[in-house]
Amino acid sequence: MATERPNLRPNLSIDGLIDELLTLGRISEAEPPIVTRVVFSEADMRARAYVKQLCADAGLTIHEDAIGNIFARWQGSDPTLKPIGTGSHIDAIPNAGLYDGCVGVLGGLEAIRVLQQFGFKPRRSIELVIFTSEEPTRFGIGCLGSRMMANVLTPAQAQALRDKEGHTLDELRAETGFTGALESVALAPGRFHQFVELHIEQGPTLEAEGIDVGLVTHIAAPASLRITLEGEGGHAGGKLMPGRKDALAAASEIILAVEAAAKSTGAIDTVGTVGVCEVFPGAVNSVPSRVKLEVDVRDIDGARRDKVLDKIRSACTDVEQRRSVRITTEMINADPPAACDEIILAALEDSAKAAGKTCKRMVSRAYHDSLFMARIAPVAMLFIPCRSGVSHRPDEYATPEWIGAGVHVLVRTLAVLAS
């Protein structure tokens, strides 16, 4: 069958979409321009209600699962075919901005509305997905909704999650009206025919090179390691230097070892970060007796990433012996990277050319819900520039022109995939 392509204007008006992004940004636990929407918070629930109303206004059929993943479907002409998925998330870490995740949700909705306006009739249904808790703010683990969809996080593991106040996932989801069985969240492989996520780059490449859109070929996967060091505390004046077992001094060596291990691969796609350093007792005149580090290592090559982790563990053993402190390591998660689907990439590339937009293939060093959707469907990601590569800050920004280019390419791609 011939692929149906809507006859689009060279430049789509997205004024309404920009207004919706600004409105969504004002639904926050903090004063504008700061956006904070932690999953299951009052702001999160108001944001969900706002987006669901926009979907209902577009005539989409809405379904929510047991942890609040939202599915808004534009029904295709052949209900026996698996749908095409698009979407992202609307939760936001504290002190965040307007665009992370939200461009993919509202941009995906706008793409559907544009296709409707141009009289396009999809053969496959197009389903907008709003994922629950892509950010790790509440439970310390990212992509909660998509992890459970892909059955990477089992119901038993999910039920063991606690937030900082000790509240369980079951308690919090029940308070917000999500009471179904967690076993029902997992999707069978093939539930989606294909899935494509629109997102800001969260890096400087596209803007620096003057390129309209990026086509993501690989999504790097994180490994998270918790390292606890137990030394011996004491008075900063009374504890003499020769006999010290300073947990923070030992931790400083490990922090540098993480940096050295990441650099040792020689690959630009290997990164290592110590993002948490908690010191006890935290007094200026007391020798630190305990330190907790949390380490993030990621790469598009899983084996190469795991070698970096081995070097970090080896450094821990060395520091433990030399400094006479006790060091324990705990793996929090180690997810495999994902390769994006060549068929979807080709459709994105053709659509960019047809839209008159420049594009380049690139990797995503940040991970997204598409990393886990890749377990159950072919996926790809479409990046747009963000100013100076800034993200997860109130000054995060994507111009209307950049957003418009991404939506235009997504419109054409969805038309091809759904035909």
Domain spans of the chain?
Answer: 15-220+337-418, 222-334
pLDDT for residue 1: 38
| pLDDT band (50, 70, 90) for residue 221 | confident
Confidence of residue 333 (pLDDT cuts 50, 70, 90): confident
Q: How far apart are CA 253 and CA 261, in angstroms?
A: 12
Name the strand (E) or helix (H) holding 35: strand 35-37
* pLDDT tens-digit readout, 115-132: 999 999 999 999 999 999
- Residue 230's region, left for phi above 0, alpha for psi from -120 to 50, else beta, is beta
Residues 154, 333 contacting (CB under 8 angstroms) = no
Backbone angles phi, psi at 410, to 5 degrees: -65, -40
Tell me how crowded residue 118 is: count the other CB atoms within 10 A of its CB.
14
- What CATH superfamily is the domain 15-220+337-418? Zn peptidases (3.40.630.10)
CA-to-CA dists, residue 258 to 196, 275, 277, 303, 309, angstroms = 33, 11, 13, 17, 8
pLDDT in tens, 136-149: 999 989 999 999 99
Q: How confident is the model at residue 198 (pLDDT cuts 50, 70, 90)?
A: very high
The mean pLDDT value of the chain amounts to: 95
Q: Tens digit of pLDDT for each residue in 223-280?
A: 999 999 999 999 999 999 999 999 999 999 999 999 999 999 999 999 999 999 999 9
Sequence-ordered strand ranges (E) for 162-289: 194-200, 213-219, 221-230, 234-235, 271-280, 286-287
Angle, CA of 403, 150 and 310, to the nearest 5°: 95
**pLDDT band at 11; cut points 50, 70, 90:** low
Which tokens go with 221? 């996967």
pLDDT tens-digit readout, 42-68: 999 999 999 999 999 999 999 999 999
The band of 6, judged by pLDDT with boundaries at 50, 70 and 90, is: low
Binned at pLDDT 50, 70 and 90, residue 2 comes out as: very low
Q: Identify the CA nearest to 59 among candidates 73, 69, 48, 70.
A: 73
CATH architecture of 222-334: 2-Layer Sandwich (3.30)
Per-residue pLDDT tens digits for 181-190? 999 999 999 8
